[in-house]
Amino acid sequence: MPQPLGHTFHTSSWGLVEIERLLTHVMRTVRLLGTVVPCNVHEERKRMLDAFEAGKKMTPRWTYARVDHAHLRRALDGAAHWLDQRTHPIAELYAARARELEIEAALVSATGTTAFGALARARFCSAVARDATILARQWITDGCRASPAHSHAEIESDAPTAESLLSRMRQEVSLRGLPFAVIVQPSLSALAATGDRHIFIAPARRITKEDVERTVLHEILAHAIPRTRAMQERHLIFQIGTARGVDHQEGLALVLEERHGFLTPRRKSELAVRHFAVLAMDDGAEFHDTVKALVNEHGQVPYQAILTAERAFRGGDGISPGLGRERIYLESFVDVHNHLAKHPTDEAILMSGQVSVDAIATLAPLLTFPLQDRAWEGT
């Protein structure tokens, strides 16, 4: 078993190959989104739902499998400083990615502590935050015009039927020959998520057929296909990704949802409510107050409000701020939408890995398989 790269790398040995090995290792080792899921999330959901319905204050008692990545942080810091001495544009991209991963390693090390919130803000920030909030207000207004989903049109997400999300995702993965396994993940607060080799589905969620097809499109087109294309590229940077590449991939997913008619008023309202949950948290609201606001001001049922607040506060203690990653969806949508409106052919680069719009100009000459048509979208 090889030793962690943070222990084996020294400043004198830095080179591009070593940097790529380090970043690849860190991506596989530092599992931010996995670490911020509480170990006792199921028990706490039930306990807090019971407390809310009984009119009692909810304070999460989450526990986490925190990991100390101090050695990787030192290695990443050394790599970033070495890269700063180089003038090549790829070195600049790698340096920015190393610093982003260093923050994520720090977040994993600080999960469940009061230091977590400040680190999360440092990681998930954007120059278009104000524009995203303005858009969120508009989307809340649009959501007021949405027709409610009827219970007879709903199905459980992991039901053993051809129409369920689990079945449809597996069907689409098989049809496209993608190297992903689709499995049920009970701890998810999201409906679905894509990892390196798995697409995870939350169990027992009552959703509509529209939710099923939208989620399949979101995970397959914006996440699974770009990761698959990245593995086929000659240059490793497409697999390693760029700073904010993960964020802008969520923005691309929303652009694709809009293109296919899935960015409906109901969906816009859902995204906007998640955005405002993070803003409330950043302004000092605790978990309990956020859930109350989601129920009383935004009309969410208590269970859904708890899931929404979970997404905002995960990684924290429910009192001080948590991850707040939900802010990136609208912010990245603004970035990607505005960029593709001016440069539509740049979608090929965004579809080739976890790539930010800021890195497109540098990566475009390296692209092995330029997008000749829209065949990847399928039917």
Any domain includes 36: yes
pLDDT band at 367 (very low <50, low <70, confident <90, very high): confident
pLDDT tens-digit map of 290-299:
999 999 999 9
pLDDT band at 11 (very low <50, low <70, confident <90, very high): very low
Q: What integer pLDDT is reported at residue 341 of this predicted model?
A: 97
Please give the structure tokens belonging to residue 57: 């204050």
Q: What integer pLDDT is reported at residue 375 of this predicted model?
A: 38
Q: What integer pLDDT is reported at residue 23 of this predicted model?
A: 96
> Pick from 272, 276, 346, 277: which is nearest to 306 by CA?
277
Answer whether residue 74 shows pLDDT above 50. Answer: yes
Any domain includes 53: yes
Question: In this structure, what are the phi and psi dihedrals at residue 193, rounded to the nearest 5 degrees?
Answer: -155, 150
The domain tally of the chain equals: 1
Percentage of residues in the chain having pLDDT higher than 70: 92
Domain of 210? 31-66+111-377
Q: What integer pLDDT is reported at residue 187 of this predicted model?
A: 87
With 0-12 / 13-18 / 19 or more C-beta atoms within 10 angstroms meaning exposed / middle / buried, residue 284 is exposed
Any domain includes 71: no
pLDDT band at 50 (very low <50, low <70, confident <90, very high): very high
Please give the structure tokens belonging to residue 24: 């690849």
pLDDT tens-digit map of 235-276:
999 999 999 999 999 999 999 999 999 999 999 999 999 999
Answer whether residue 147 shows pLDDT above 60. Answer: no
Answer whether residue 12 shows pLDDT above 80. Answer: no
Please give the structure tokens belonging to residue 258: 């809009």
Percentage of residues in the chain having pLDDT higher than 90: 84
The residues, ordered by sequence, that sit 6+ positions from 125 with a Cβ below 8 Å of its Cβ are: none
Element (H, E) at 193: strand 192-194
Answer whether residue 16 shows pLDDT above 90. Answer: no
> Pick from 366, 143, 158, 138: which is nearest to 242 by CA?
366
pLDDT band at 2 (very low <50, low <70, confident <90, very high): very low
Any domain includes 271: yes
Q: Which of 7-11, 91-95, 159-163, 365-369 bottoms out in mean pLDDT, i.e. has the lowest?
A: 7-11
- Residue 151 to residue 154: CA distance in whole angstroms: 5
Answer whether residue 306 shows pLDDT above 80. Answer: yes
Q: For the chain, how are helix, strand and coil distributed in percent, rounded to 5?
A: 60, 5, 35
Residue 233 DSSP code: S
Give the mean model confidence (pLDDT) for residues 26-30.
Answer: 94
Any domain includes 96: no
- Residue 139 to residue 271: CA distance in whole angstroms: 8
Any domain includes 324: yes
Any domain includes 172: yes
Any domain includes 214: yes
- Residue 175 to residue 197: CA distance in whole angstroms: 16
pLDDT tens-digit map of 191-236:
999 998 999 999 999 999 999 999 999 999 999 999 999 999 999 9
Q: What integer pLDDT is reported at residue 72 of this predicted model?
A: 96
